[in-house]
Structure 1
Amino acid sequence: MNIYSLLDNSTILAGLKVKNKKELLNEMVDALSDDVTKEQLEEIRDSVFEREEIMSTGVGKNLAIPHGKVKSIEKNYASFAILKDPIDYDSIDGEPVKMVFLLAGPESKNSTHIKLLSRISRLMNSSAFREALSDCETADEIFKAFHAEEERYFGN
């Protein structure tokens, strides 16, 4: 499964303005509202916040990959944001976060969830790709950048 197929213009937030981690995570989850029910949205929100309490998903390099699994969904959903201004996120390197990739998946498909998280990490680990993303100004540009990078990196 490719990452760009999980994203579309409604789930990509370019130049997002938020004040803190809580506001950011709420915006990221809310971006999924066109694809899931209100109940599923709240389950995703709870799961993401619960996961964040266990350990910060700020992985360093100004990137966070919040994620959660819920019983009520059958497939994976994602949102991606580039923040207008970086925020504190309790990242492992102590640096603020500028890019955030949120992944929500079904509890029943743990191996797929882990594979997707790994794929996101590998993609986002590329400093050239992060730089290319930071030059994007619209959701469409970000989507095209993900598509091109996955084609280049994974040959999809």
Structure 2
Amino acid sequence: MLLCLEMEGYPMRILDYLSESSVLFLDSTNKQEILSVMANKAAELDATVNVKNFTKAILERETIMSTGIGLQVAIPHAKLQTIQDFFVVAAILQNDAEWDALDKKPVRLVFMIGGPADKQADYLKILSKITLVIKNPARRKELRQAKDANAVLAAFAEL
């Protein structure tokens, strides 16, 4: 289980939720396939994630509005009552994936966030930390060119 360290007097860090085992490098260009693989990874890493329910929630969220936020980044997310702690699964895509992004550009970086339904403030903190990294052009390039999970984690090391 992951701890929300901020409640204990420590600042929240993305690396509290993102680990070497939650970083994927994917060849797929199919949005649904990418989301499915990432949801399966989340369920593999967190026993409180029901892959069927979580995948359904993620896909339903995408029908409301695309999570492609621009800058070749998507941040799909879902919060469910059954999930106990937040997690982040990152996917570095080897090829462009159409995502119906706000800027109409394909996606290359995907950060899936999952967590408890009743912790909106924690979700927003995680989202803001990811946003800080991806707004930086050098870090975005570093992430797109990452060859292993350690390179991805290094981009978040200071946050």
CA contact (8 A) 2:57 2:78 kept: yes
Q: What is residue 55 of structure 1 aligned with on the other side?
A: 65
Q: What is residue 38 of structure 2 aligned with on the other side?
A: 28
Distance 1:22 1:133 in 2: 22
Q: What is residue 114 of structure 2 aligned with on the other side?
A: 104
Residue correspondences, number:
148
> Can you list the C-alpha shifts for 1:104-126, whole angstroms capped at 9, x where unaligned?
01001111112211221122111
Q: What is residue 126 of structure 1 aligned with on the other side?
A: 136
Q: Which amino acid in the other structure matches residue 79 of structure 2?
A: K
Corresponding residue SS for 1:10: helix
Distance 1:81 1:39 in 2: 18
Q: Which amino acid in the other structure matches residue 120 of structure 1?
A: I
Q: What is residue 9 of structure 2 aligned with on the other side?
A: none
- Superposed CA RMSD in Å reads 1.5
Once the two structures are overlaid, the 10-residue window that deviates more, 36-45 or 1-10, is: 36-45
CA contact (8 A) 2:23 2:89 kept: yes
Distance 2:100 2:145 in 1: 25
1:2 matches 2:46? no
Distance 2:66 2:145 in 1: 26
Distance 2:133 2:154 in 1: 14
Distance 2:113 2:104 in 1: 22
Distance 2:43 2:20 in 1: 13
Q: What is residue 87 of structure 1 aligned with on the other side?
A: 97
1:116 matches 2:98? no
Structure 2: stretches of 5+ with no match in the other structure: 1-11
Distance 1:126 1:67 in 2: 22
Q: Once superposed, which parts of structure 1, at least 4 consecutive aligned residues long, lie more than 4 Å away?
A: none
- CA displacement at 1:99 relative to structure 2: 0.5
1:68–1:137 Cα change, 3 Å = same
Distance 1:73 1:23 in 2: 22
Q: What is residue 76 of structure 1 aligned with on the other side?
A: 86
> Can you list the C-alpha shifts for 1:92-144, whole angstroms capped at 9, x where unaligned?
11000000100001001111112211221122111111011122101122122
- Normalising by structure 2, we get a TM-score of 0.86
- CA displacement at 1:38 relative to structure 2: 7.6
Distance 1:145 1:118 in 2: 15
